[in-house]
C-alpha cells in the first residue's frame, strides 16, 4: 500500500541548526529517498513562496502565501510503498524533521 509522508517543520527551523546538523539531516533525507520503498520524494520551497487559489462565488481568487497561517509548514512530501501502517510509521519516525521539532503526517494514498 502507498502512503504519503507529509513533512512539517517550524518556520525558520534550519536557521537554528549548526552546519553539521544540517548536513546530517540532508544525508538522512537522501538515505530515505534512496530507500527502495520510497516511490518519490521532494523538498518544497518555503511557504512564503506559495500562491493559493480559491474559487469564491464563481470567481477565482489568487493570493500570495500559504493557504493557512499555522505554526508548522509543509516542507516536503515523500511517497512510500509499505506493507502496512506500522511499516509506514517506522519510516516516518526516521524522518529528520521528527527529531528536529517537526511532525510527519502519514496518510494512505487512494488508488484509482
pLDDT in tens, 42-58: 999 988 888 989 899 99
With a pLDDT cut of 90, the percent of the chain lying above it is 69
| Predicted pLDDT of residue 68 | 65
Beta-strand runs (E) in 1-112: 2-9, 38-43, 51-56, 59-64, 73-81, 103-108
| Predicted pLDDT of residue 16 | 85
With a pLDDT cut of 70, the percent of the chain lying above it is 96
Neighbours of 103 (CB within 10 A): 14
User: Measured between alpha carbons, how far is 106 from 80 in angstroms, rounded to an integer?
Assistant: 10
In the predicted structure, residue 10 carries a pLDDT above the cut 90? no
Average pLDDT score over the chain: 91
User: Vertex 70, ends 39 and 15: CA angle to 5°?
Assistant: 75
Q: Provide the β-strand partners of residue 74.
A: 8
Per-state percent for the chain, helix, strand, coil, to nearest 5 = 30, 35, 30
Domain boundaries, the chain: 2-108
**Maximum Cα–Cα distance across the chain:** 50
Q: What CATH number is given for 2-108 in this structure? A: 3.30.70.1060
Amino acid at each position: 500500500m502507498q502512503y504519503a509522508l507529509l513533512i512539517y517543520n517550524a518556520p525558520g527551523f534550519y536557521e537554528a541548526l549548526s552546519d553539521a546538523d544540517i548536513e546530517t539531516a540532508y544525508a538522512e533525507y537522501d538515505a530515505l529517498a534512496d530507500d527502495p520503498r520510497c516511490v518519490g520524494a521532494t523538498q518544497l520551497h518555503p511557504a512564503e513562496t506559495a500562491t493559493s487559489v480559491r474559487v469564491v462565488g464563481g470567481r477565482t481568487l489568487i493570493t500570495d502565501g500559504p493557504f493557512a497561517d499555522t505554526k508548522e509548514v509543509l516542507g516536503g512530501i515523500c511517497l512510500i510503498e509499505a506493507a502496512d501502517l506500522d511499516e509506514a510509521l517506522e519510516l516516518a519516525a526516521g524522518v529528520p524533521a521528527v527529531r528536529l521539532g517537526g511532525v510527519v503526517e502519514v496518510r494512505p494514498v487512494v488508488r484509482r
